[in-house]
Amino acid sequence: MDVALYSAQGRTFVLVPSCMHPTQEAERLHGPLVLCAHSRLSAIADGALRSRLEGQIDRDAFALLQWHEAQALLGRKHPCFRKRPTKFWPRLQRKRVIARLTE
């Protein structure tokens, strides 16, 4: 399955099928989301993790990954794991977006 990986708040990532956009629920719970990579679920060597992610995607249309799980999918040196530049996401703007999503 082809998937898109979105960076979320904290050190988490949201995984959705490549043919879809993140759901409103995913955006509300974990947003703002920023697309950072495309990959295949078959790239994950750990079968238990892969089956958990497939089950979450089937149930909720998205799966939540922790930092180390996303690194297992993309590799440790992927540009997605660099710190997000603040000039593109200034702190004030991020707070406004979060406030709007939680209303």
Kind of pairing between the strands at 12-17 and 34-40: unpaired
pLDDT in tens, the chain (103 residues): 888 888 888 778 888 998 888 888 888 888 788 888 888 888 777 788 888 888 989 998 898 888 888 888 887 777 777 665 444 444 545 555 566 666 6
Q: What is the DSSP code (8-state) at residue 103? A: -
| Residue 73 domain boundaries | 2-102
34: exposed, middle or buried (C-beta count within 10 Å: 0-12, 13-18, 19+)?
A: middle
Q: What global pTM score does this model have?
A: 0.70
* Number of domains comprising the chain: 1
